[in-house]
Amino acid sequence: MPKPLDNITQPLIKWFEANKRPLPWREDRDPYHVWISEIMLQQTRIEAVMRYYRRFMEALPDIESLSKVDDDKLMKLWEGLGYYSRARNLKKAAQTITDEYNGIFPSRYSEIITLSGIGEYTAGAIASICFDEKVTAVDGNVLRVISRITGSRKNVLLPETKKDIAKKLQAILPDESGKFNEALMELGEIVCLPNGAPDCAHCPLRENCTACQKDLTAEIPVRVKQLKRKREDKTVFLITDSEGRIAIEKRPDSGLLSGMYQLPNISGYYSIEELYSKLNEWNLSPADIRHHKDAKHVFTHIDWFMRAYRVTAAAPNSRFVWVTLEELNAAYSLPTAFKKLL
C-alpha cells in the first residue's frame, strides 16, 4: 500500500510552476536576495515583508554594502520588522563572507550554516534554491503540510518532530530540490493555511492527504506550547524640553532590542513623588509630570506593560540624545513598543 508521501514530488512541482507568486527574490537565484528575504520572513508574513525588502535592497544592494553599513542606519532600515538581532546577524554574516569567502556567498550547506543568524531551515533553503544541493528546508509551513498529509499528531513545536519530518523529506527529495522545497512552502502559504480552513479543493496533494481525507485539518498540526510567558512592568518617560525636542537613549549592545534607541524608562510602577525623585537623579529638573497613557507590547516570551508619563524638562542634560520628532522618524530606530507611546 502506498504511503502518503509517495509520488507527491512531481504533482507539487507542477502545481508550483503554474501557481507560484511573482515575488521579487524569485526573479533570480542570487543567494544574497534569497538570504535577505528568508531572514526577513522569519516571524513575519510575506505581505508585510515586501516593502521592507525593496527598501533594504535599494539601500544595501549587495554583501559588501551590508558588511560596511552603519549600525544606526541598519537598525533604521530594519525598523518595523522586529526581532532586531536578525539585522545585526546579517551584518556580522556579511562581514564573515567578505573576510573568509572574498565577498562571494558560500555555496555549500555545511558552510552556509556556520554564518551568524542562519539555522538549518535557512541554510537548507539557500543551498537548495540557489545551488541545487539536495537538502531539506523545513519551516512552519512545511511542518503543517507534511503533518496533514501524513496525519501525524506529533507536536510540531518539538525539535524531534522537525527532525523526523526532515528525514522523511530527505528520502523523497527530487533533483529539483530547491523547487520542491519552495513548492512545499508556497502550498503552506496560500493553500494549506495555518489559520482558518485550508483550501483543500485546490490542493494538488488532496488525494494523498490523510487530514483532508479524514476531515482532520482542524486538529492537525498539533501545537502544544510549553513555555510560560513573563510579565515586565515598566514606567516610560516621554520627556520634552522647551524647544519640543524628545529625550531618547541608546539601549545596551546586548539583550532584547540591543543597539536600538528607546524612550527613557525604569522597571516597575511608581508614585508621582518617586518619579520626581528619579528625574532629579538624572539632573532634569522636571517642571511637570503627567500620566500620558498605558500600553502593552508582546514579545516572543515577554509581555511589557508600560505606564507612560509626559515630562517637561526645564533643564535638559547630556545624559540623553535630544531630537525633534522629524529627526526621530528619519534617523533613529525606535522599537514599536515605544512608538505606541508617542
- pLDDT for 35: 98
Q: Which long-range contacts (CB under 8 A, 24 or more apart) does 47-51 make?
A: 49/81, 50/23, 50/24
- Asked if the model's pLDDT at residue 106 lies above 90, the reply is yes
Q: Are residues 45 and 141 in the same domain?
A: yes
**Is there a domain that residue 61 lies in?**
yes
- Asked if the model's pLDDT at residue 1 lies above 60, the reply is no
Considering only residues 102 and 316, tell me which one the structure prediction assigns the higher pLDDT. Answer: 102
- Asked if the model's pLDDT at residue 225 lies above 80, the reply is no
End-to-end, the C-alpha distance of the chain in Å comes to 63
Q: Are residues 19 and 157 in the same domain?
A: yes
User: Residue 196 is part of which domain span?
Assistant: 9-213
Beta bridge partners of 262: 249
Domain end residue (candidates: 161, 185, 213): 213
Q: What is the mean pLDDT of residues 208-213?
A: 93
**Is there a domain that residue 4 lies in?**
no
Please give the mean pLDDT across all residues of the chain: 92
Helix %, strand %, coil % for the chain, to 5?
A: 45, 15, 40
Residue 221: cis peptide before it, omega within 30 degrees of 0: yes
Q: What is the mean pLDDT of residues 57-85?
A: 94
Q: Is 64 a catalytic residue?
A: no
DSSP string for 253-317: SSSTTTT-EE--EEES---HHHHHHHHHHTT--EEEEEEEEEEEEE-SSEEEEEEEEEEEESS--
Q: Are residues 45 and 150 in the same domain?
A: yes
Domain end residue (candidates: 213, 241, 261): 213
- pLDDT for 94: 98
- pLDDT for 226: 64
Q: Are residues 29 and 170 in the same domain?
A: yes
- Asked if the model's pLDDT at residue 50 lies above 70, the reply is yes
- Asked if the model's pLDDT at residue 148 lies above 90, the reply is yes
Q: What is the 3-state secondary structure (H, E, C) of 82-130?
A: CCCHHHHHHHHHHHHHHHHCCCCCCCCHHHHCCCCCCCHHHHHHHHHHH
Burial zone of 211 (CB within 10 Å; 0-12 exposed, 13-18 middle, 19+ buried): buried
Residue position matching grid coordinates 485539518: 217
- Asked if the model's pLDDT at residue 3 lies above 60, the reply is yes
Q: Are residues 68 and 198 in the same domain?
A: yes
Pairwise CA distance, residues 39 & 82, whole Å? 11
- pLDDT for 7: 87
| Residues 6 or more apart whose Cβ sits within 8 Å of residue 122 | 35, 38, 39, 42, 112, 137
Q: Mapping DSSP to helix (H, G, I), strand (E, B) and coil, where does residue 247 land?
A: strand
The answer to whether the beta carbons of residues 171 and 28 sit under 8 Å apart is: no
Q: Are residues 115 and 198 in the same domain?
A: yes
Beta bridge partners of 306: 234, 295
Q: Mapping DSSP to helix (H, G, I), strand (E, B) and coil, where does residue 237 land?
A: strand
pLDDT band at 121 (very low <50, low <70, confident <90, very high): very high
Pairwise CA distance, residues 141 & 128, whole Å? 17
- pLDDT for 313: 86
Pairwise CA distance, residues 319 & 317, whole Å? 6
Q: Are residues 243 and 202 in the same domain?
A: no
Q: What is the mean pLDDT of residues 213-221?
A: 93
**Is there a domain that residue 49 lies in?**
yes
**Is there a domain that residue 133 lies in?**
yes
DSSP string for 139-162: -HHHHHHHHHHHT--SBTTSHHHH
Domain end residue (candidates: 213, 243, 262): 213
Pairwise CA distance, residues 80 & 62, whole Å? 22
- pLDDT for 314: 76
- Sign for the pseudo-dihedral over CA of 168, 169, 170, 175: positive
Pairwise CA distance, residues 7 & 330, whole Å? 53
CA distances from 316 to 177, 249, 263, 324 (A): 60, 13, 14, 14
- pLDDT for 196: 79
- Asked if the model's pLDDT at residue 136 lies above 90, the reply is yes
The answer to whether the beta carbons of residues 28 and 20 sit under 8 Å apart is: no
pLDDT band at 323 (very low <50, low <70, confident <90, very high): very high
- Asked if the model's pLDDT at residue 256 lies above 80, the reply is yes
- Report the relative pairing of strands 230-240 and 265-267 from DSSP bridges: antiparallel
- Asked if the model's pLDDT at residue 20 lies above 90, the reply is yes
pLDDT for 29-48, tens place per residue? 999 999 999 999 987 888 88
What's the structural domain count of the chain?
Answer: 2
Please tell me which residue in 27, 38, 64, 327 is annotated as part of the active site. Answer: 38
- Asked if the model's pLDDT at residue 227 lies above 70, the reply is no
**Is there a domain that residue 74 lies in?**
yes
What is the share, in percent, of the chain residues with pLDDT greater than 90?
A: 78
Q: Are residues 284 and 182 in the same domain?
A: no
The answer to whether the beta carbons of residues 253 and 92 sit under 8 Å apart is: no
* Domain harbouring 268, CATH code: 3.90.79.10
pLDDT band at 165 (very low <50, low <70, confident <90, very high): very high
Q: What is the mean pLDDT of residues 116-121?
A: 95
- Asked if the model's pLDDT at residue 182 lies above 70, the reply is yes
